[in-house]
A and B are shown apart, each in its own frame.
Chain A
Amino acid sequence: MRVAVVGAGPAGVRAVEVLVAAGHRPVWIDEAPEGGGRIYQRPPAPLQRDAKTLYGFEAKRATALHAAFDALKTRADWRPETLAWHIRAGAKRLHTLHRGAQGVVDYDAALLCTGAMDRVIPVPGWTQPGVTTLGGAQIALKAQGCGIGRRVAFLGSGPLLWLIAYQYAKAGAEVVAVLDTTPFATKAAAAPRLLRGGATFAKGLFYVGWLRAHRVRVAEGVTPLAIEGGAEGVTGLRWRDAAGREHEVACDAVGMGWGLKPEAQLADLAGIPFRFDALQHNWVPQRDAAGRTPIAGHYLAGDGAGIGGAEVAELAGARAALALLQDAGQAVDATTVARLDAALAQQQRFRAALDRAFPFPAHLAAALPDDAILCRCEGLRAGELRAAARADNAAGPAPEMNRAKAFSRTGMGRCQGRVCGAAAAEILAAELGQPVKAIGRLRGQPPVKPMPIPAPRPAREAVS
């Protein structure tokens, strides 16, 4: 049986571990040069530091995952720096790009562990140099050993906001403000359920407490107003507090993000149906608890299959690989399956509490002013998308997301809506007076990421 695994983050590593133990040698693809995924991304050799500095509380997990990866990569057909730019589920073929060279991978079963990316809400001024996603800010620190600025403000919601602010402060950056758009009351209401998360919850409290103790300016329930800037980039961040007062803080960089969204383009291209997960407020590909999808031979695990975090991804990767083996008629250890199923179910309850504590602030996205940039690839403003939904639009009103894309170009640029899509959907839904799940989602179209046109091959005459 030919097995292909896409992704070498926590889910991919644990999946390959199971597959290799069962005697397989899967083709294993990742865009990065090394395994670990975004969360445990390793710095290039000259910037190597000890795991504790790099990953904090997560050092043990990171070290264990890296060790597992290092042991596995010679036992799998490991293909680093490789983009899987298309998948044809019917033909069971992946199309890849490695340093400009095209390739194909034919498989009997594929396990997609494609991870997640930051979920962004545009704020007026967000396209200036110095504004980065929270995940981007973290990678700068972890993989490049540098910060996004000297005086940094963090804005957004979710556990990552506090973690990254903490990491920056520890690394010696001046954290001028941590602005959480979630009101304190929302988080407090979810606290009893969050306690079930045990260690994860305790870590969250630790970061907040540490930041407060170190007199970092912290505010909750804020409404971002604008990122101010000049020719040199960001100069400040303006917001309104929960009581309605306006504030401004001087800074030279802003890290912002509102949780994560699945990087599920391959699942989409494979024809796996999607559903709107109201709690996560994300479109997620359909799968069962073990990672099986409605498309036979195709499995999903990790954040690409719905946001669960790195711990869940490790469990889900192993579980999906076992499901793949089960479906192929191979014997698997029933105790292991039962243990993983129980752990995944427990984690899911904690995750639900987390999603309740940090709900996606759809109202902030929907309220983006008409003249603010929405789609940064195409330089489109929020008002242009709203105009496409109105009856007086020259091509008529766009009743759903893909038609709005066709009329306004929203999501038609280099990122194909990966960055602006979540906010664009809120803006369109609000303009149409529909719930966001009713207006659909941007459909996936190959290539998954931009793909260069190859140089012309020498003409045959010239060769002979």
Chain B
Amino acid sequence: MTTECEVLVLGGGGAGCSAALHLAQRGVKVVLLERGLVGSQASGVNYGGVRQQGRHPAELPIARRSREIWGRLKEITGTEAEFTVTGHLKLARSDAEEAELIAYLDVAKQHGLPLRMVGRNAIHREYPWLGPAVVAGSFAPEDGSANPRLLAPALARAARAAGAEIREHTKVVSHHHAAGRFELTSEADEVFRAPVLLNMAGFWGGAVADAFGEPVPVRPLSPNMMVTEPAPYFIEPNLGVVGGNVYLRQIPRGNVILGGGHGESDPAVPWSRPLPEVTLEALEHAVRLVPALAGVQVIRSWSGIDGKMPDGIPVIGPSRTTPGLFHAFGFSGHGFQLGPAIGAILSELVLDGRTDTPLEAFRIDRFQAAA
């Protein structure tokens, strides 16, 4: 069986589903191919941070744009995916870390990101439950968190409603490009053809790029995630630290969601799981930040697979080898917040041939010079 369409999207994470939605809204015949269920990997099993603070400066224009979409998510998809604006509090545990927070204030200012320094005296007054290890923090009031399990499925449902075809359980085993058309073949021998292909396949996006002659040094990345039983609600902001070895948030029903470090994975299966030693280390970091967490029970841990680039920022933009091919993958553990905007940006690249959002830093050929 052969399916013809105008745009093929490879990968049903948050970004891919958003791309399908934005394209379908502009009348494009789009088919999204997903190996499992949408949102099964990085964008569906992550921490759920909707965070702009602390991002690489090159990512901030995308994050700003995505934050605006997050604010309209309910109107777009019918659910806000539990997006809550709690603010994000990034903590310093040493003088050097505090200096880093101060330095970022300028970056935030340049991009119009509201950010407030909470100094040594104020931090324990404003957040009396923080442990003595904390020396300062910076607070981003626009940031918050959402439920990652809901984002991609909700975007996929909205995309379907707008006319996109979302094909789950469709594993693509070969990619070709000839005479201006991409031809993808699934494991079940189904053929999909289109003049435009969006490579939004997360870690596996590396193999797709490779198939079109532009290999990139992407590696699998598996977050070490945990959740506790419900405890009395007291941690309002989403918490992070300079260096990123732990991050945690509490939802009003009481569960504390926390992560830190990386687990193990086998992308070929695909299979991923937290590492026990890393779990215990993350718990140690967490209880130093918030000592009242001692004794609260961890009830579940999980992981997923994302693609990590050597410089920690994704590949976004047109292929340098194949006309009609666009990449957006390798979000390096922080693509959840960006997903909605990435879809909008790729729809512009496809339909308008340009976008106002600067993408220069994300060029796929940036690794070649170094090689």
Q: Which residues of A contact B (CB under 8 A)?
A: 85-86, 88, 95, 102, 394-396, 399-400, 403, 406-407, 412-414, 416, 445-447, 450-457, 459
Contact = CB atoms under 8 A, between A and B. Distances in A.
Contacts of B295: 452-453, 455
Contacts of A407: 149-150, 153
Given A394-B157, A406-B44, A452-B295, 11 more contacts: A95-B276, A394-B77, A394-B78, A395-B150, A403-B37, A445-B301, A447-B298, A447-B299, A453-B296, A453-B298, A456-B287
A453 B287 contact: yes
B153 A450 contact: no
A421 to B, nearest CB: 14
Contacts of B149: 395, 406-407
A451 B157 CA distance: 37
A451 B298 CA distance: 5
Contacts of B274: 446
Contacts of A455: 287, 291, 294-295
Nearest to B297: A450
B79 A394 contact: yes
Nearest to B227: A412
Interface string B136-175: 0000000000000110011011001000000000000000
B80 to A, nearest CB: 9
A454 B78 contact: no
Which 4 residue pairs spanning A and B have beta carbons closest together?
A394-B79, A450-B297, A395-B153, A406-B149
Contacts of B160: 396
A457 B302 CA distance: 25
B99 interface: no
Contacts of B153: 395-396, 403, 407
B284 interface: yes
A102 B301 CA distance: 17
B187 interface: no
B286 interface: yes
Task: Name the residue among A86, A406, A412, A457 with the largest chain B CB count within 10 angstroms.
Answer: A406
A396 B157 contact: yes
A454 B131 CA distance: 15
B150 A102 contact: no
Contacts of B133: 459
Contacts of A459: 132-133
A85 to B, nearest CB: 8
B135 interface: no
Contacts of A413: 229, 299
A456 B287 CA distance: 6
A291 to B, nearest CB: 25
B293 interface: yes
Contact of A453 (B78, B81, B154, B294): B294
Nearest to B37: A403
Contact of B298 (A403, A412, A450): A450
Interface residues of B, number: 40
B276 A454 contact: no
9 contacts: A395-B153, A395-B157, A406-B150, A413-B229, A413-B299, A447-B299, A450-B298, A453-B293, A454-B294
B301 A446 contact: yes
A406 B37 CA distance: 12
A200 B153 CA distance: 51
Contacts of A395: 79, 81, 149-150, 153-154, 157
A456 B37 contact: no
B273 interface: yes
A21 to B, nearest CB: 33
Given A395-B153, A446-B276, A456 B294 contact: yes
Contacts of B219: none
B302 A454 contact: no
A91 to B, nearest CB: 9
B125 interface: no
Contacts of A412: 227, 300
A272 to B, nearest CB: 14
A416 B300 contact: yes
Nearest to B285: A456
B84 interface: no
Given A394-B78, A412-B300, A446-B273, A454 B287 contact: yes
A34 B274 CA distance: 31
B291 A456 contact: yes
B102 to A, nearest CB: 24
B288 interface: yes
A454 B287 CA distance: 8
B296 A396 contact: no
A219 to B, nearest CB: 39
Contacts of B78: 394
Contact of A399 (B37, B286, B291, B300): B37
Contacts of A445: 300-302
B316 interface: no
A189 B228 CA distance: 48
Contact of A394 (B150, B228, B273, B284): B150
B301 A452 contact: no
Nearest to A379: B253
Given A95-B276, A396-B153, A456 B284 contact: yes
A406 B48 CA distance: 13
B355 to A, nearest CB: 28
Interface in B258-313: 273-274, 276, 279-280, 283-284, 286-288, 291, 293-302
Contacts of A416: 299-300
A140 to B, nearest CB: 24
B320 to A, nearest CB: 36
B297 A414 contact: yes
B84 to A, nearest CB: 16
B79 A451 contact: no
B275 to A, nearest CB: 8
Interface string B2-40: 000000000000000000000000000000000001000
B220 to A, nearest CB: 16
Contacts of B287: 453-456
B297 A451 contact: yes
Contact of A454 (B81, B150, B284): B284
A209 to B, nearest CB: 45
Contact of A447 (B77, B79, B296, B301): B301
Nearest to B271: A271
Task: Name the residue among A396, A450, A452, A457 with the largest chain B CB count within 10 angstroms.
Answer: A396
Contact of B284 (A400, A450, A452, A457): A457
B77 A452 contact: no
Nearest to B133: A459
Nearest to B78: A394
Contacts of A456: 131, 284, 287-288, 291, 294
Contacts of A414: 229, 297, 299
B248 to A, nearest CB: 11
A455 to B, nearest CB: 4
Interface string B310-340: 0000000000000000000000000000000
Given A394-B77, A396-B156, A396-B157, A452 B296 contact: yes
Contacts of B299: 413-414, 416, 447, 450
Nearest to B289: A456
Contact of A88 (B227, B276, B297): B276
Nearest to B155: A395
A447 B160 CA distance: 37
A460 to B, nearest CB: 11
Contacts of B131: 456
Contacts of A452: 294-298
